[in-house]
Structure 1
Amino acid sequence: MKEQQQLTLNGRKEIGKLEMTKEVVYTLNGMGILALFAFGFFFTSLYTLFTGKIDINYTSGTILSSVALVIGTFVLHELIHGAFMSKYGGKPSYGAGIAHYILPYFYATTKTIFTRNQFIVIAIAPLVVISLVAIGIMAAFPSIAHWMVIPFVLNGSGAVGDLWVTRNILRCPKHVTVEDRKNGVIIYGKETDKLMFISTTGFGSGFGKVFMLCIVAMGFLMIIAPMTLDILGVESFVIGPTNSFFTVFEFHSIGEGFEFDFFPTSILATSVIVGLVYAIVNAGKSRNGAMAG
C-alpha cells in the first residue's frame, strides 16, 4: 500500500536550492569519470572473485547484449526512483535531457513535497537496489557475470549526482522538506532556519589533495613495512585478499631475508576511491548550515 502524505509549505520558507548549473554539470562530469574508475575496479574485482578469472572476454554478441543492458539499466534506475516517489505519495513523470549541452541524463520527477529522509531514500534507492541485484546475479550465475560489469559500472558512475544531492540534503536538519524538480531540488525549512549557500567549488582540489596524500602514505608504508615486519619476525603479511584485484601489499619471510610485492593498480584505485569519497562529502558544503530554530 502506498504511504500517502500531504505536506504543505505553511510556515515554511525556501532555505536552499540545488540546481543543474554549468558549474554543477562540470563537477558531476568530473565525479562521474572518477566514479567510473572506482566502480570499474569494484565490479571487476567481484567478477574475479565469483568467476576466478581476471580477463573479461567480449564478443560482438556480448557487446550488443551489454549495450541493451546499459539502456535497460538506465531506464530501470529512473523507474526505481519513480517507484519510491509513488510509495511516498507522489505521481512521477519521466523524461530525458542534456544539461547545458554537456551532460545527457534521464530523470524522474514529481510535484510532491517529501520529508528529508523520504527524499534520501528516493535518491539512493536505484544505486543500492541495482548494485545488490548485480552482485547477486554475478554470484549466482558466474557464466554470465561478464554481461553485468559494464551496465552496472555505468549505473554506479551515473549515480554520483544522486549521491551529491543526498550528501547536501543530509547537511540539513531532519525537519526540512524537499521539492523535486526536473533540474534540481528546493529545500524548505522553518522561518527560523538560516539560508544555505551551496557551492560546488573545492571538488577538484579536495580530490587531488586526498588522492596525493593516499599515494604518498601508501608509498611510505611500502618502504617501511618490509623492514618493520622483518624485524618483528613476521613470516607472512598481506594487505587485501591474496591474488586478487584487491591485493595491495604482500610480504613473505624467506630464510635469512624477505620478499615483498606491492600492486600499483590497487594502490591507485584505493587512492581514487578515497579521494572521490572525500570530494563528494565536502564539495557543495554550505557556507551557512541550515540550523534548527
Structure 2
Amino acid sequence: MNVLSLPAGYRRIGGVDLVRDRRAMLAVNLAALLLMALLFVLGIFWVPLSLRFRSGMGALVEGILLLGAAALYMVLHELVHGVLMRRYSGARPRYGFNGLYAYAGSDAYFDKHSYRIIALAPVVLWGLVLLLLNLLLPRSWFWLVYLIQILNLSGAAGDLYVCFLLHRLPADLLVQDTGVAMSFFAAES
C-alpha cells in the first residue's frame, strides 16, 4: 500500500535523519569510508595503480573526466530513486543536494516492499552497469569506471542502513522519505 496521505490509525514509530542525527550520520559515513578503502585495495589487486598513473595533460583530462562521471553518476542514482518513487506513488519527487548528500524525496508513504526497491534499485542497477563496463572496456579504463563503482557501493551506505532498520520493523510499516530524513509509521495496536 503506497499512499499520498497517512491512513487513519497510523502513528510515527521512528525514523532516520542523516543530517540531524550525528551518531547515525557518523556511523553511515564511517561505514562508507571503510567500504571505500576495502574496495580500493581490492581494485589494486585486480589492476595495479602503477598501470594507471599519468602525468601532464593526460592526468588533467582524466581528472576532469572522473569528476564529470562522478557528478553524472550521482544525478543518475537519485533519478532512479525518484522514478521509482513516482511509479509507486504517482507523486512527483523532489531532488536536491544539502552539501553532504544528494537526494530524491517525496511526501508519499511507501510500504516496506516498495521502499526496499526504491532504496536498493540504484546501487543494484548501476552496480551491474558499472561491472559490465569494467568487464567490457579496455583495461586502461578500469580505474575510471571502478572509482565510480566505489562511489556507487560506498555511497549506498545510507540506503543499506535504512533497509537494515526496516527488517526489524512491523510488516504494516509505511515509510516517508523526504530526502535525507525517513519517518516510519505503523498501525496502532
1:120-199 alignment runs, 5 A limit: 120-143=116-139, 144-192=141-189
SS of the aligned residue for 1:189 comes to strand
User: TM-score if structure 2 supplies the norm length?
Assistant: 0.85
Structure 1 residue 61 corresponds to structure 2 residue 61: yes
Q: What root-mean-square deviation, in Å, do the aligned CA atoms of Structure 1 and Structure 2 show?
A: 1.9
**Is the Cα contact below 8 Å between 2:173 and 2:184 reproduced in 1?**
yes
How far, CA to CA, are the matches of 1:6 and 1:44 in structure 2? 46
How far, CA to CA, are the matches of 2:14 and 2:113 in structure 1? 16
Structure 1 residue 36 corresponds to structure 2 residue 36: yes
Q: Greater share of helix residues, 1 or 2?
A: 2
How far, CA to CA, are the matches of 1:130 and 1:39 in structure 2? 16
1:9-24 alignment runs, 5 A limit: 9-20=7-18, 21-24=21-24
Q: Which has the higher contact order (CA 8 A, sep 6+)?
A: 2
User: TM-score if structure 1 supplies the norm length?
Assistant: 0.57
Residue 54 of structure 1: CA displacement? Answer: 2.7
Residue 60 of structure 1: CA displacement? Answer: 2.3
How far, CA to CA, are the matches of 1:111 and 1:44 in structure 2? 43
How far, CA to CA, are the matches of 2:102 and 2:33 in structure 1? 18
SS of the aligned residue for 1:88 comes to helix
Partner of residue 96, structure 2: 95
User: 1:168 corresponds to which letter in structure 2?
Assistant: L
Residue 39 of structure 1: CA displacement? Answer: 2.8
Partner deviation per Cα, 1:42-87 (whole Å, 9 max, x = no partner) = 5555xx3xxxx43341432222211111111111111111111112
Seq. identity, %: 25
Partner of residue 220, structure 1: none
**Is the Cα contact below 8 Å between 2:116 and 2:163 reproduced in 1?**
yes
Consecutive unaligned residues in structure 1, runs of 5 or more: 99-103, 193-293
Residue 154 of structure 1: CA displacement? Answer: 1.6
Residue 125 of structure 1: CA displacement? Answer: 1.1
Partner deviation per Cα, 1:69-122 (whole Å, 9 max, x = no partner) = 111111111111111111212321001113xxxxx1111000111001111111
Consecutive unaligned residues in structure 2, runs of 5 or more: 54-58
How far, CA to CA, are the matches of 1:78 and 1:67 in structure 2? 17
Partner of residue 263, structure 1: none
**Is the Cα contact below 8 Å between 1:116 and 1:174 reproduced in 2?**
yes
SS of the aligned residue for 2:7 comes to coil
**Number of residue pairs aligned between Structure 1 and Structure 2:** 178
How far, CA to CA, are the matches of 1:152 and 1:67 in structure 2? 13
How far, CA to CA, are the matches of 1:77 and 1:129 in structure 2? 9
Stretches of 4+ aligned residues off by more than 4 angstroms: 42-45
**Is the Cα contact below 8 Å between 1:91 and 1:112 reproduced in 2?**
no
User: 1:54 corresponds to which letter in structure 2?
Assistant: P
24 and 135 in structure 1: CA distance in 2 versus 1, 3 angstrom threshold: same
